Amino acid sequence: MSDDPIMIGVDFGGTSVKIAAVFQSHIIDHAPPIATQDFETHGELIDEMVRAIEDLRARHPKIAAIGVGMPGFVNFETGLVYNLTNVRDWQEIPLKAILQKKINLPVAVDNDANCMAFAEWKCGAGRGYQHVVFITMGTGVGGAIIANGQMIRGARHGAGEIGQTSIDYRGRRGAYGNLGALEDYIGNGEITAKARDAYHEAGIQKSLQECTPAALATAAYAEDAVALALWDDVGRMLASAVMNCCWLLNPEAIVIGGGVARAGEILFNPLQKHLFPQLSGPFKDHLVILPAVFGHEAGTVGAAALAREMI
């Protein structure tokens, strides 16, 4: 469908704001990334985003709408960004209204995990499924839920926070007061710290830089016993939270993306090994566990997919 419109996808990260022109699920052009922390006020940063979007629009007049993925809680209906913990001057910002007024195009604003899920659901690994749980594993652990062929946002647009669900009711208290939050067990930093300790116990001294998930994946593929045991443990803890999603939502597919998930089968194999024996027939017989298709571009492609839904 060559007369499909072109969408702008904005992936607003704590480090940089990436802005791309997206046709179907392909990035056809992009603006230079904007350094998020260079701006004192939300107004200056938004003005810079508007300039970048207008530049893209000048080159692609068929741009029909703008989708924005934000790293924090968003009211999807009003497009209000409640609070960004890592960016200055971003409390209660009506981003959708501001952008629509400045650019005069339809704008959708959602949280970044929902955008990732949209990319995978509409054009990626989750395509064609009606019941899907998406998980993104990185510094934090996020997620999103599709049920009955719809995104489930919940009463206050907060749904899908699998990283905040508990895998141990007696676990330690996390960022939101929750005990035993999955994110506190398998977030990027936690994996790294746990690996360094495990190597230390095995009499091997490693720096934190040598214990990143990427380094641990390489080590595991080279049959490093410490790394293999660590990924097995990550798979076991992830399996518990995924199992809870399965008993609650009975999905057809679990789609997992994010930096940590790039470890590949060294993560997916233990996950499946621990997950399937904890589910009965109707919950596991047709269940598939799939790696996300989109990598770094999931944010922009997803935000563009969200914009496409809206028009």
Return residues touching its own copies (CB under 8 A).
73, 82, 130-131, 143, 145, 147-148, 150, 152-162, 164-170, 176-180, 236-237, 239-240, 243-245, 247-252, 277-283, 285-287
Q: How far apart are CA 150 and CA 242, in angstroms?
A: 19
Give me the least distance between CB of 54 and its own copies, in Å please: 33
Question: Which one, 73 or 221, has the nearer CB to its own copies?
Answer: 73
Question: Which one, 218 or 250, has the nearer CB to its own copies?
Answer: 250
Give me the least distance between CB of 38 and its own copies, in Å please: 29
Whether 244 and 123 have beta carbons less than 8 Å apart is answered as no
Question: Which one, 61 or 169, has the nearer CB to its own copies?
Answer: 169
Q: How far apart are CA 143 and CA 116, in angstroms?
A: 9
Whether 305 and 4 have beta carbons less than 8 Å apart is answered as no
In SS3 terms, 195-211 reads as HHHHHHHCCCCCCHHHH
Give me the least distance between CB of 290 and its own copies, in Å please: 14
Question: Which one, 156 or 200, has the nearer CB to its own copies?
Answer: 156
Q: How far apart are CA 125 and CA 135, in angstroms?
A: 12
Reading the block at residue 89, the tokens are: 């001057």
Give me the least distance between CB of 21 and its own copies, in Å please: 31
Give me the least distance between CB of 93 and its own copies, in Å please: 16
Give me the least distance between CB of 103 and its own copies, in Å please: 28
Segment 83-87 long-range contacts (CB within 8 Å, at least 24 positions apart): 84/14, 86/14, 87/14, 87/36, 87/37, 87/45
Give me the least distance between CB of 108 and its own copies, in Å please: 17
Give me the least distance between CB of 20 and its own copies, in Å please: 29
Reading the block at residue 63, the tokens are: 């741009």
C-alpha separations of 219 from 187, 201, 210, 263, 268 in Å: 19, 17, 10, 10, 16
C-alpha separations of 231 from 116, 136, 185, 214, 238 in Å: 24, 16, 12, 12, 10
φ, ψ for residue 5, nearest 5 deg: -75, 165
Tokens 């641990």, residue?
A: 216
Question: Which one, 201 or 285, has the nearer CB to its own copies?
Answer: 285
